[in-house]
Amino acid sequence: MLRHLATVTLLVHDYDEAIRFFTEALRFDLLEDTPRGPGKRWVVVAPSRNAGATLLLAKAVGEEQQAAVGNQAGGRVFLFLHTQDFPADYAHMKAHGVRFLEEPRHEPHGTVAIFLDLCGNKWDLLQPA
């Protein structure tokens, strides 16, 4: 049986702000933005339409979810964005205000730099070796 990870929920403060960040700064595709009742939407983005797993941008509701925004992995790197052109993606992201926590470094597994999404979750931008 073939199985794969389809969607990961990412808590955000605001749908439209998150859509702008992911589509402009990270150049993700907006796959779906469907109203789901008062104040709720089903918002799905992905690095590209056929790139595997997607992100469900979910507006945090209530104290518990609000507290988790930006800290979904307890301070560790949460998500890994693979690229085939690290220099171009790094330059684009920097030009669009993405905050990197370090300069790019070369590791045995590839070129990598940790950045923060709009809510403060840590990501790796990684071009595998």
Provide the pLDDT for residue 66: 96
Enumerate residues 6+ apart whose C-beta is below 8 A from 48.
28, 29
Model pLDDT for residues 40-86, shown as the tens digit of each residue: 999 999 999 887 899 999 999 999 999 999 999 999 999 999 999 99
- Rounded Cα distance between 69 and 72, Å, is 6
Model pLDDT for residues 79-113, shown as the tens digit of each residue: 999 999 999 999 999 999 999 999 999 999 999 99
Q: Tell me the Ramachandran region of residue 42: left when phi exceeds 0, alpha when psi lies from -120 to 50, beta otherwise.
A: beta
Q: Which long-range contacts (CB under 8 A, 24 or more apart) does 97-102 make?
A: 97/25, 98/25, 98/26
pTM of structure? 0.93
Provide the pLDDT for residue 64: 96
